[in-house]
Structure 1
Amino acid sequence: MARRLIPTLNRVLIEKIIPPSKTTAGILLPESSTKLNSGKVVAVGPGAKDKAGNLIPVAVKEGDTVLLPEYGGTQVKLGDKEFHLYRDEDILGTLHD
């Protein structure tokens, strides 16, 4: 039975994208050139409420590729996969091709 984590409030579940360490031709890439800290949004919470009780929705949606801060988030292991939980306001932006 596979478990699925649904974040609470304004939290976002992210699977970090691990950049390749070498090209398809087998050339090793230096660590500094593969250092973009990004991830794919796996699940989002419903959002947080403001002081008046109005729901403030999360700014990202499932499937978005996002730019993450260098530090932060909570590491979560589900089965053999590793994920990270971030608050919506900690995500730096979305990445588009």
Structure 2
Amino acid sequence: MPTVEVTDLKDDDFLLDVREDDEWQAGHAEGALHIPISEFVARYGELTEAAPQDARVHVICRSGGRSAQVTMYLVQQGIDAVNVDGGMQVWAAAGRPVVNDEGQPGYVL
């Protein structure tokens, strides 16, 4: 399973958040694309439209389990994807910004 540490992410890396809507609304990484894992296969086209050409997709969830599943799926589709180790819990613990839909400080649910 290709993984990356939160501390290795750059500000301009493409981030795909696969948590559910309530988790996303509580707080997420600014600029991330949100497609819940429960809707991922049906909404897969949104990822291919949003991701920059040949960009690595950094997949994140709360702790790394759901994002690992999506990462494996993407790799099987030939997409350069990596799982963000530890997910949003580690993201927040590392001091990376977490915002809500209004751009205000959020939290990891």
- TM value normalised by structure 1: 0.26
Q: Calculate the TM-score normalised by the size of structure 2.
A: 0.24
Greater fraction of residues in strand: 1
Q: Which has the higher contact order (CA 8 A, sep 6+)?
A: 2
Structure showing greater radius of gyration is 1
Q: Which has the higher helix share?
A: 2
